């Protein structure tokens, strides 16, 4: 989605990327087929801005290019935007909640007891009076005169839509809390204080881990030269040989400067290298490197814990202990789009699960499980996933298709069929999108190879 200067690794933030432009053309095509004049709501489900590996100004300008495409002065495509921060743009949430807290406490006198800042929003906030403005992004949007009153609100970490009779709901979550890496502080607390209970509420999970998520996963790009070097390390991790060279150099430097283990530098370096290699193998075998299926066993385990614990607790609390009979769940984070009916303890029936993918290139060769999807929800909370692409070895493997999660015996999804009738991968605008994304994936893979080998 970020434009690069031609023949360069450098960003060109003055123009939208080809993929961004063609994606918006596809969204336009769908929206103009709508049966009413009512505009849809756009839900941005996390990691929309890359704040871990780029600076805030770069990420902000890329977002502005997106806003110019979807909200032009002549015909805006969306009624409003709901922004659900992920791990790479968690700081969007921190800015939003701290801004609202400052506004809130300004109403108190100097003698009043100030309430503690909150860490999460409620699930069903769409029609609430207590919505949180995504402050940083709202300021960017206000730069355009025709968007002065346009709403972009933040929900974190879960955002829900529920039917009038509360029998059906759709829940959006970026997906980072299904990954144990983002509950590191809670895990450390369990090791240091084993008698303390594990957090079971989403509020407590965020309260214990927000500083860690913000520090490492959402602010590194703004950390001067060290931020750039963190990006180098991240890229080197994608190539086992290059990453080992980096670790070998690190071990030699440590052994030369400090007597950490033994007095003989060569032996100390050898021991450190073996330790680093072991840790590197553990890191590189995490979810992003797992490309034989859409979910590793670790992610399935974390997913089950999140669905059956904090998410179910929040849903139950906000529905007076009566869970909706029909629940769907949308997430991203793992970069591997899929749709599937899944069973979780405590829910009245199966849950239809949709993954929107990652819209990034972070491997040195095409991975067929990696890709991007757009999930659509209609006014009846019926759903369809437009799989915009999966990476492929040749360009013929790039095509758009419509899919829906379905359980045996479930009523026919007419909405999904309707969207399927609109999307012909051999016709425009879908055909051009596939051509462009195939070219760009190839370019980005080569770009990544060059950066890994040269830096």
pLDDT in tens, 391-417: 999 999 999 999 999 899 888 899 999
Q: What percent of the chain has pLDDT over 90?
A: 66
430: three-class secondary structure by DSSP: helix
Question: Above 70 in pLDDT, residue 52?
Answer: yes
Report pLDDT for 287: 46
Task: Give per-residue pLDDT as tens, 180-219.
Answer: 889 989 988 988 898 988 899 999 999 999 998 998 777 7
- The distance between the two most distant Cα atoms of the chain, rounded to a whole number of Å, is 77
CA-CA distance, 363 to 289, in Å (whole number)? 9
Q: Which residue has the higher pLDDT, 278 or 134?
A: 134
Structure-block tokens of residue 207: 């309260």
Report pLDDT for 67: 98
CA-CA distance, 119 to 271, in Å (whole number)? 43
Report pLDDT for 266: 58
Task: Give per-residue pLDDT as tens, 127-138.
Answer: 777 789 999 999
- Out of 96-100, 275-279, 438-442, pick the least confident: 275-279
Question: Above 60 in pLDDT, residue 282?
Answer: no
The mean pLDDT value for 343-358 works out to 96
Residue 42, beta-bridge partner list: 81
172: three-class secondary structure by DSSP: strand
Question: Above 70 in pLDDT, residue 279?
Answer: no
* Inter-helix orientation angle 18-31/430-454, to 10°: 150
| pLDDT bucket at 296, cuts 50 / 70 / 90 | confident
Q: Find where tokens 């509360």 sit.
A: 166
* Inter-helix orientation angle 90-105/202-217, to 10°: 120
The mean pLDDT value for 253-276 works out to 63
Question: Above 50 in pLDDT, residue 103?
Answer: yes
Report pLDDT for 263: 58
Report pLDDT for 228: 66
Q: How many residues does the chain have?
A: 455
The three state secondary structure string of 272-294 is HHHHHHHHHHHHHCCHHHCCCCC
Specify the DSSP element, H or E, that contains 439.
helix 430-454
The mean pLDDT value for 163-180 works out to 94
Which ranges in 195-293 belong to alpha helices (H)? 202-217, 224-236, 240-257, 265-284
Q: Which pTM value belongs to this model?
A: 0.89
Cα–chain-centroid distance for residue 330?
11
Q: Which residue has the higher pLDDT, 235 or 92?
A: 92
Q: Which residue has the higher pLDDT, 455 or 361?
A: 361
Closest C-alpha to 351, from 327, 332, 375, 331: 327
- Strand order across the 401-403 sheet: 371-377, 383-390, 401-403
Closest C-alpha to 295, from 369, 406, 363: 369
Structure-block tokens of residue 150: 């346009």
């Amino acid at each position: 989605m970020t434009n690069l200067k031609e023949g360069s690794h450098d960003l060109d933030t003055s123009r939208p990327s080809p993929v961004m432009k063609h994606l918006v053309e596809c969204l336009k095509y769908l929206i103009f087929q709508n049966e009413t004049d009512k505009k849809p709501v756009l839900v941005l489900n996390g990691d929309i801005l890359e704040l871990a590996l780029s600076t805030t100004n770069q990420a902000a300008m890329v977002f502005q290019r997106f806003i110019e495409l979807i909200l032009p002065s002549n015909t805006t495509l969306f009624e409003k935007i709901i922004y659900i921060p992920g791990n790479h743009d968690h700081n969007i949430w921190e800015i939003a909640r701290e801004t609202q807290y400052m506004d809130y406490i300004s109403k108190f006198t100097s003698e009043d007891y100030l309430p503690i800042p909150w860490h999460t929003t409620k699930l069903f906030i769409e029609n609430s009076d207590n919505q949180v403005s995504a402050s940083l992004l709202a300021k960017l949007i206000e730069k355009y005169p025709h968007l002065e009153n346009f709403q972009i609100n933040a929900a974190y970490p879960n955002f829900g839509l529920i039917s009038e009779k509360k029998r059906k709901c759709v829940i959006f979550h970026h997906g980072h809390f299904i990954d144990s890496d983002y509950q590191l502080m809670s895990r450390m607390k369990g090791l240091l204080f084993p008698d303390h209970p594990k957090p079971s509420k989403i509020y407590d999970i965020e309260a214990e881990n927000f500083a860690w998520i913000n520090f490492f996963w959402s602010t590194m790009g703004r950390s001067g030269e060290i931020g750039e070097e963190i990006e180098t390390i991240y890229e080197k991790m994608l190539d086992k040989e290059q990453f080992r060279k980096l670790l070998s150099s690190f071990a030699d430097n440590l052994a030369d400067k400090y007597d950490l283990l033994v007095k003989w530098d060569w032996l100390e370096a050898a021991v450190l290298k073996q330790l680093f290699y072991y840790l590197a193998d553990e890191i590189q075998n995490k979810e992003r490197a797992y490309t034989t299926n859409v979910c590793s066993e670790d992610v399935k385990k974390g997913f089950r814990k999140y669905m059956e614990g904090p998410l179910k607790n929040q849903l139950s609390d906000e529905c007076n202990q009566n869970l909706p009979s029909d629940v769907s769940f949308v997430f991203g984070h793992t970069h591997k789009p899929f749709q599937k009916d899944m069973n979780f303890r405590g829910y009245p029936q199966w849950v239809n699960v949709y993954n929107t993918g990652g819209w990034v290139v972070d491997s040195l060769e095409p991975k067929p499980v990696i890709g991007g999807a757009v999930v659509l929800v209609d006014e009846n909370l019926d759903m369809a996933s437009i799989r915009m692409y999966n990476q492929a070895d040749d360009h013929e493997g790039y095509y758009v298709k419509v899919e829906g999660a379905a359980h045996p015996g479930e009523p026919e999804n007419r909405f999904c069929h309707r969207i399927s009738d609109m999307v012909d991968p051999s016709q425009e605008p879908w055909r051009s999108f596939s051509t462009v994304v195939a070219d760009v994936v190839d370019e980005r893979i080569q770009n990544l190879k060059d950066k890994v080998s040269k830096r």
